[in-house]
């Protein structure tokens, strides 16, 4: 049975806990984040397909992905591929746009437009001396996923090790319409294989902890490309090998919290196309992207209601390639942050200022100019003392994101004079806890307005490796997020939980009033999207009905009929049962049916998604 504490967090709408992760049975973190209000997923396939997420129309590069307190970075593309992050070890996901978890998050994440925080099993301290987790999944299209982890904590030590494998042939069927004729095709060159392993060591102390870890990920995949009439072949492939390491030290008392952290990654990517028509008979190009981060954050509390916080962070990143015509850039990105908060009764006022300085070096061409910005954040919050417990928040955030190495230097596409995107965010939110007998209800309403200057838009052309960069100029966003959560005990043994959210996003190009795209919706951002999930529990048996809806989008910024990508509603169901073998041992069996109405759909034009498919999982836990 789900505990009350877990149910309360489930009702918040921007928090997914371990129960949500298991029941949704997502193939990667991208499918999980899709359940968060305001998040807009771009997906180019099922297991292993490229997935990126944007929040409130700002673009994926404005969102920071933080895993166990460390930022995941990619200076080559500027976007984190969420399809490469597995979910079997994930125990929680949080999405934020306003206030941030100051001490846990790196400085670079605190100053970004939005943030997604991922918490995993093996990287966190617990109170059990020995914990074991294993999971095995088998599904349609040759899907096979396995995960195992052991966490040993004698006295105050933490020692964990983990490993996983995911594979799929990805040969799902789809319908291709050409005039009045509909033909059934199979997705080709869509196979995927990855395996990963790693470990963590740490020690818990009286006033904090210290930990260090390592993670390796190897991927071999085909790139299926867009579905094009009379051309069903695709021969491009991509291989990825990542090595990452991290370490941090946390010191915490009643008056002071202090954290030092560092992490780095080396990512090797190889792209091949054996049928590309050129004078050497194909493409075989490799890239090596590396970054190293070091930073410090602190929070101090005073008796007079003031809280001071701040931090410094430095990120050094490089990109090299065996392509002689490609740049070999280096980037040094410095972040600074100071913040002061004042609390009195139910009132909170926060003033924050952050700085960013970026220095570029190109060893094979002209340098992009150095950039410097100071970005403010202001928050006013008021909590009522009534029985309804209403919290009103009003905040403004200014942020910017640098163009990626590909946007600045990529062959025939890059522009080293490209300006960073500047974003101004205004937000009002109201959070309610209505008091109704026998019910646990949470309601949240956000109304926001964003302005983006020098907006950069990336649209795939040939496949998910080859892109076209478009500078929209200026865009405005007007939207609202509505979140509803309900927990009700139906009887002694029955519990019902309802989670729903709806997002309206009016995100338009306002660059030039004489342009044919003036006040047209930005490509691939739907005006309407939402989730509606219902879960029923009876003792150890559970059932979940999960729905995701999105309205039509446009494949280009010109909103004409030929650019429409149809909207869709996708319905998944899951049925699960848990067995208590002994006091500390449990076994869980789960059956998932996805897209049960076999709805043809795609997030990105011509990148078809799978129809009805199935997944069976078996999980073992000891603690």
In CATH, 4-622 is 2.40.170.20: yes
pLDDT digits (tens, 9 = 90+) for 527-546: 999 999 999 999 899 999 99
Mean pLDDT of 429-433: 90
Share of the chain above pLDDT 90, in %: 54
Confidence of residue 168 (pLDDT cuts 50, 70, 90): very high
- pLDDT at position 534: 96
Mean pLDDT of 182-191: 84
**Which residue did the predictor score with more confidence, 304 or 247?**
247
| Angstrom distance (rounded) from CA 299 to CA 339 | 9
Mean pLDDT of 215-238: 82
- pLDDT at position 3: 35
Burial class from Cβ neighbours inside 10 Å (0-12, 13-18, 19+) for residue 579 reads: exposed
Q: Where are the domains of the chain?
A: 4-622
Statement: residue 77 has pLDDT above 90: no
Q: Which residue has the tokens 């490309």?
A: 225
Share of the chain above pLDDT 70, in %: 92
* 258-262, 411-415, 602-606, range with the lowest pLDDT: 411-415
**Which residue did the predictor score with more confidence, 253 or 410?**
253
Statement: residue 547 has pLDDT above 70: yes
Mean pLDDT of the residues in the chain: 87
pLDDT digits (tens, 9 = 90+) for 110-127: 988 888 999 999 998 888
Burial class from Cβ neighbours inside 10 Å (0-12, 13-18, 19+) for residue 275 reads: exposed
Name 293's bridge partners.
263, 315
Burial class from Cβ neighbours inside 10 Å (0-12, 13-18, 19+) for residue 132 reads: middle
Q: For residues 594, 596, 602 and 607, what is the CA-based torsion angle, rounded to 10 degrees?
A: 60
pTM for this model (two decimals): 0.90
Confidence of residue 460 (pLDDT cuts 50, 70, 90): low
* 119-128, 401-410, 479-488, range with the lowest pLDDT: 401-410
Statement: residue 242 has pLDDT above 90: yes
- Best-predicted range by mean pLDDT among 22-36, 239-253, 598-612? 239-253
Mean pLDDT of 599-610: 89
Statement: residue 563 has pLDDT above 90: yes
Q: What are phi and psi of 513, to 5 degrees?
A: -65, -20
Cβ neighbours around 619 below 10 Å, total: 19
- pLDDT at position 7: 34
| Angstrom distance (rounded) from CA 594 to CA 146 | 19
pLDDT digits (tens, 9 = 90+) for 294-312: 999 999 988 788 999 999 9
- pLDDT at position 151: 95
Confidence of residue 554 (pLDDT cuts 50, 70, 90): very high
pLDDT digits (tens, 9 = 90+) for 125-148: 888 889 999 999 999 999 999 999
Confidence of residue 462 (pLDDT cuts 50, 70, 90): low
- pLDDT at position 44: 81
| Angstrom distance (rounded) from CA 316 to CA 295 | 12
Mean pLDDT of 388-397: 90
* 230-234, 525-529, 566-570, range with the lowest pLDDT: 230-234
Statement: residue 192 has pLDDT above 60: yes
- pLDDT at position 12: 41
Statement: residue 81 has pLDDT above 50: yes
Rama region for 230: left / alpha / beta (φ>0; ψ in -120 to 50; rest): left
| Angstrom distance (rounded) from CA 134 to CA 152 | 15
**Which residue did the predictor score with more confidence, 512 or 99?**
512
Q: Where are the alpha helices (DSSP H) in 11-54?
A: 18-24, 29-33
- pLDDT at position 240: 94
Burial class from Cβ neighbours inside 10 Å (0-12, 13-18, 19+) for residue 609 reads: buried
| Angstrom distance (rounded) from CA 474 to CA 453 | 4
Mean pLDDT of 579-595: 91
Statement: residue 467 has pLDDT above 90: no
Burial class from Cβ neighbours inside 10 Å (0-12, 13-18, 19+) for residue 366 reads: exposed
| Angstrom distance (rounded) from CA 98 to CA 426 | 10
Statement: residue 598 has pLDDT above 50: yes
Mean pLDDT of 181-185: 78
| Angstrom distance (rounded) from CA 583 to CA 211 | 30
**Which residue did the predictor score with more confidence, 404 or 164?**
164
Confidence of residue 414 (pLDDT cuts 50, 70, 90): low
Burial class from Cβ neighbours inside 10 Å (0-12, 13-18, 19+) for residue 20 reads: buried
Give the pairing type, strands 114-120 and 63-67. Answer: parallel
Q: Answer yes or no: are the C-beta atoms of 137 and 617 closer than 8 Å.
A: yes
Statement: residue 329 has pLDDT above 90: no
Statement: residue 21 has pLDDT above 60: yes
Q: 3-state DSSP call for residue 333?
A: strand
CA 162 to chain CA centroid, Å, is 22
Statement: residue 2 has pLDDT above 70: no
- pLDDT at position 526: 95
**Which residue did the predictor score with more confidence, 463 or 145?**
145
- pLDDT at position 5: 33
Mean pLDDT of 251-268: 93
Q: For residues 597, 601, 603 and 607, what is the CA-based torsion angle, rounded to 10 degrees?
A: 130
């Amino acid at each position: 049975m789900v505990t009350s504490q877990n149910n309360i967090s489930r009702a918040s709408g921007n928090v997914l806990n371990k129960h949500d992760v298991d029941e949704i049975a997502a193939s990667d973190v991208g499918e999980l984040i899709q359940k968060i209000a305001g998040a807009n997923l771009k997906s180019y396939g099922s297991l292993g397909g490229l997935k990126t997420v944007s929040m409130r129309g700002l673009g994926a590069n404005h969102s920071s992905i933080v895993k166990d307190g460390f930022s995941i970075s990619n200076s080559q593309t500027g976007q984190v591929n969420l399809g490469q992050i597995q979910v079997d070890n994930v125990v929680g996901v949080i999405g934020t746009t306003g206030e941030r978890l100051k001490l846990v998050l790196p400085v670079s994440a605190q100053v970004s437009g939005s943030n997604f925080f991922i918490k995993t099993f093996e990287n966190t301290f617990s109170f059990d001396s020995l914990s074991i987790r294993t999971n095995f999944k088998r599904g349609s299209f040759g899907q096979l996923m396995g995960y195992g982890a052991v966490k040993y904590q004698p006295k105050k030590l933490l020692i964990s090790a983990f490993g996983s494998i995911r594979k799929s042939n990805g040969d799902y069927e789809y319908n291709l319409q050409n005039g009045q004729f509909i033909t059934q095709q199979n997705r080709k060159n869509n196979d995927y294989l990855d395996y990963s392993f790693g470990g963590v060591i740490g020690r818990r102390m009286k006033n904090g902890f210290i930990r260090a870890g390592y993670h390796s990920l190897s991927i071999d995949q085909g790139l299926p490309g867009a579905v094009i009439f009379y051309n069903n072949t695709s021969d491009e492939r991509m291989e990825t090998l990542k090595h990452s390491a991290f370490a941090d030290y946390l010191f915490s008392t009643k008056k002071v919290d202090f954290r030092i952290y560092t992490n780095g990654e080396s990512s090797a990517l190889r792209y091949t196309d054996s049928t590309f028509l050129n004078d050497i008979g194909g493409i075989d190009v490799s890239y090596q992207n590396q970054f190293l981060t070091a930073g410090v954050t602190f929070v101090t509390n005073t008796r007079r209601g003031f809280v001071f916080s701040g931090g410094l962070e430095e990120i050094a990143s490089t990109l090299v390639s065996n392509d002689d015509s490609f740049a070999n850039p280096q980037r040094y990105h410095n972040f600074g942050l100071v913040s002061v908060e004042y609390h009195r009764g139910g009132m909170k006022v926060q003033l924050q200022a952050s700085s960013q300085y970026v220095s570029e070096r190109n060893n094979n061409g002209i340098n992009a100019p150095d950039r410097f910005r100071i970005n403010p954040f202001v928050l006013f919050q008021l909590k009522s003392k009534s029985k309804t417990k209403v919290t009103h928040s009003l905040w403004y955030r200014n942020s910017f994101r640098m163009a990626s190495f590909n946007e600045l230097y990529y062959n025939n596409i890059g522009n080293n004079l490209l300006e960073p995107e500047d974003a101004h965010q205004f937000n009002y939110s109201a959070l309610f806890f209505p008091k109704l007998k026998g019910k646990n209800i949470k309601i949240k309403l956000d109304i926001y307005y964003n302005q983006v200057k020098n907006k950069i838009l990336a649209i795939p052309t040939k496949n998910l490796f080859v892109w076209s960069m478009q500078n929209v100029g200026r865009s405005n966003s007007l939207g609202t997020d509505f979140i509803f959560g309900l927990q009700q005990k139906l009887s002694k043994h029955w519990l019902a939980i309802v989670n729903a959210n709806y997002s309206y996003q009016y995100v338009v190009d306002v660059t030039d009033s004489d342009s044919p795209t003036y006040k047209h919706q930005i490509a691939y951002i739907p005006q309407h999207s939402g989730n509606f999930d219902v879960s029923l529990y009876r003792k150890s048996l559970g059932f979940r009905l999960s729905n995701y809806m999105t309205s039509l989008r446009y494949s280009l910024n010109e909103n004409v009929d030929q650019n429409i990508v149809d909207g869709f509603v996708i319905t998944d169901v899951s049925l699960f049962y848990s067995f208590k073998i002994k006091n500390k041992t449990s076994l869980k069996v789960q059956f998932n049916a996805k897209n049960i109405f076999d709805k043809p759909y795609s997030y990105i034009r011509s990148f078809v998604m799978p129809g009805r498919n199935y997944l069976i999982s078996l999980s073992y836990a000891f603690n």
